[in-house]
Structure 1
Amino acid sequence: MVGGIRRRETPAQRLVAFVVRWLITAAGVWVAAKLVGGIHLEGWKSTLMVALVLGLLNAFLKPLLVFGTFPLLIMSVGVFLVLINTALLALTAWFLGNFESIHFAIDGFWDAFFGAVIISIVSFVLTRFFNPGRIARNF
């Protein structure tokens, strides 16, 4: 923001911010796969694809789910959001399970639950260190 006027991001800056967010999500997926025994992930190609699909689901489907479950979110003081993240991670595993070149699977609900929690924590921490918006503005 310069003089109270916010400058528009260029397409290149938006692309840089997207790539940074994508890599942050990929790091979260990788950490979750290493820490949760029921999450099976092989290779960087699979990691990047899982992060891409999960990011797209978070961008397009999650707002609808949050809106549709808003009373539950209010009553649970936001804890229900973890279940939405769990469902999106499980949906990602189900969708990518149909591709032979992508090696990603989740054994059960609790594995997806703890994986979603870990991905959220890792993404939160890395976003604080590597702010995608700030990196894009400096690009």
Structure 2
Amino acid sequence: MGFILRLLVNALALYLLTRVYAGVAFGPGAGVGAVLIAALVMGIVNALIRPVLLLLSLPINVLTLGLFTLVVNGVVLYLVAAVTALNVAGFGAAIVGALILAVISWLLDALVGMLGLDGGRD
């Protein structure tokens, strides 16, 4: 999937998250640009910081059979909210928001794949 398409899917997923879950919202007056910037920051944090967090939390992750990954995803969403126009009600809201965001992203990825917009990647 191309970078632009991936960015747009992530932006749509973030926007839908703010519509579905009240614990995560964009600041007043935030437009399309703010959503795109938040999606771009989310991609950068997922690419650079999330692997380090997963490596550092590996013993806890093994003990909890992978459930601690939800907490790491919540930390990532909280970090994105700290540097963008995204507002998160608290750390618990970040964890729930990350879980909902994962489901929305998964559904949008499946939709893009069904429509053939991903360039035929497996």
TM-score by length of 1: 0.74
Letter in structure 1 aligned against 2:14: V
Corresponding residue SS for 1:135: coil
Structure 2 residue 69 is matched with structure 1 residue 81: yes
2:60 alignment partner, one of 60, 72, 96? 72
Structure 2 residue 7 is matched with structure 1 residue 58: no
1:48 alignment partner, one of 36, 48, 51? 36
> Which of 1 and 2 has higher RCO (CA within 8 Å, sep 6+)?
1
Alignment of 1:118-137 (within 5 A): 118-131=100-113, 135-136=118-119
Letter in structure 2 aligned against 1:129: L
2:88 alignment partner, one of 89, 97, 106? 106
1:23 alignment partner, one of 1, 4, 8? 8
8 Å CA contact retained: 1:27, 1:122: no
Letter in structure 2 aligned against 1:56: I
Corresponding residue SS for 2:87: strand
The percentage of aligned residue pairs carrying the same residue is 26
CA shift digits 1:10-39 (9 cap, x unpaired) = xxxxxx621222112112111111122232
Structure 2 counterpart of 1:11:
none
Corresponding residue SS for 2:118: helix
* Count of equivalent residues: 116
Structure 2 counterpart of 1:5:
none
CA shift digits 1:62-108 (9 cap, x unpaired) = 11111111121122121111111100111111112xxxxxx321121
Structure 1 unaligned blocks of 5 or more = 1-15, 97-102
Structure 2 residue 4 is matched with structure 1 residue 35: no
Q: Answer with 117-126 or 103-112: which moved more.
A: 103-112
Structure 2 unaligned blocks of 5 or more = none
Corresponding residue SS for 1:40: strand
